[in-house]
Amino acid sequence: MAAFTVQELESMVVVYMGDYKTSRGETKLMTKDLGSCIGVAVRDPHVGVGGLLHVMLPHYGGNERESFVPAKYADTGLDEMIHTLVMQGAKREHLVAKIAGGAHMIRTAQVPESSDISSRNLEAVKKKLGEMGIPVLAADVGEYWPRTVVFEPGSGSFRILTPGKEEKLI
């Protein structure tokens, strides 16, 4: 995996699991350790504002005993991040997305890949983006390895780093 310079690391905004961050222009957003989780980068290329969401689960189940964190879920996390982007000047009709993650981290005969959490996360993200009319321009999903992603809203650059693999830019 490619190393980051100290200057590059200091300029990045870190997005933790079950959270999202937004930025404008060249300010980079980074999230690490996307295993079965999905990193969803959304931007308005006309104004250079964008956000990166680290989705952990497909849907909020409404369990009253747990504290609700919208960004943990594909459905509520995308609603919240898109709302924030619009408040920052993005236009819904201009939004585009790139996604990464959804790796099948645990292989087991009892749970086929088609129904494990990574597949359900990916399906939920694609469905929600489709409902919102946001096209997915590029994706690096599935397989069996974790990813770190770096997103630059101004240019739309979506850099994917995977241990033992060549860096990708989508």
SS3 138: strand
Nearest to 82 by CA among 57, 56, 60, 49: 49
79-92 mean pLDDT: 98
Other beta carbons within 10 angstroms of residue 108's beta carbon come to: 9
Q: Is pLDDT above 60 for 1?
A: no
Q: Tens digits of per-residue pLDDT, 86-98?
A: 999 999 999 999 9
What's the confidence (pLDDT) of residue 98? 98
Nearest to 105 by CA among 57, 142, 58: 142
66-82 mean pLDDT: 93
163 falls in which pLDDT band (50, 70, 90)? confident
- Whole-angstrom CA distances from 21 to 14, 40, 106, 153 are 8, 11, 28, 11
Residue % of the chain over a pLDDT of 90: 78
- Output the CATH code of domain 6-169: 3.30.1330.200
The token pair that represents 33 in the structure block: 């350790």
Q: Tens digits of per-residue pLDDT, 106-154?
A: 766 665 666 689 999 999 999 999 999 999 999 999 999 999 999 999 9
Instruction: Domain ranges for the chain, please list them.
Output: 6-169
44 is catalytic: no
Residue % of the chain over a pLDDT of 70: 91
Nearest to 74 by CA among 56, 88, 62: 56
- Whole-angstrom CA distances from 169 to 46, 97, 107, 148 are 21, 14, 27, 12
Q: Do 9 and 148 contact (CB within 8 A), yes or no?
A: no
Q: Is pLDDT above 70 for 18?
A: yes
What's the confidence (pLDDT) of residue 55? 98
65 falls in which pLDDT band (50, 70, 90)? low
28-49 mean pLDDT: 97
List, as one string, the DSSP characters of 53-108.
EEE-BSS----TTSPP-GGGBHHHHHHHHHHHHHHTT--GGG-EEEEEE----S--
Nearest to 95 by CA among 137, 53, 35: 137
5 falls in which pLDDT band (50, 70, 90)? confident
Of 37, 100, 122, 149, which one is the catalytic site residue?
37
Is pLDDT larger for residue 98 or for residue 1? 98
